Amino acid sequence: MLSAWDRRDRPPEEGLAAELRGFAVDKTFLSSLKGILLETELDFLRCVSAIIIFLVVSFAAVTSRDGAAIAAFVFGIILVSVFAYDAFKIYRTEMAPRATQGDQQ
């Protein structure tokens, strides 16, 4: 059984650096087409999930009919519109041109 003393006595190549090598970022993958598409899809999904969460929370807050709840509802609707605009811009600039380029080839 390995203890903390055994890890400290080993050279760094065999210790922590070897364990963290699997978590390194592959820059060639991120600069490839698949990496760029993955990043774009994750950004788009972030916007869509934020829209859903803020809509649910906003409508749940407005059910109590307090002044603060109505303010939270208005703030949530403003945030939903900002995230919807962001998702629209991501789709138009990054996702839609690639789909039309694939159809032309």
**Predicted confidence (pLDDT) per residue in 18-33, tens digit:** 566 666 666 777 777 7
Task: Check residue 39 and give its pLDDT.
Answer: 81
Q: Which residue has the higher pLDDT, 2 or 41?
A: 41
C-alpha 105/C-alpha 98 separation (Å) is 11
pLDDT recorded at residue 100: 61
Largest Cα–Cα distance in the chain?
64
Whether the Cβ atoms of residue 7 and residue 19 lie closer than 8 Å to each other: no
Quote the pTM value: 0.61
- The Cβ of residue 11 has, within 10 Å, a number of other Cβ atoms equal to 8
Condensed to tens digits (0 to 9), the pLDDT of residues 30-87 reads: 777 777 777 888 888 999 999 999 999 999 988 988 899 999 999 999 999 999 999 9
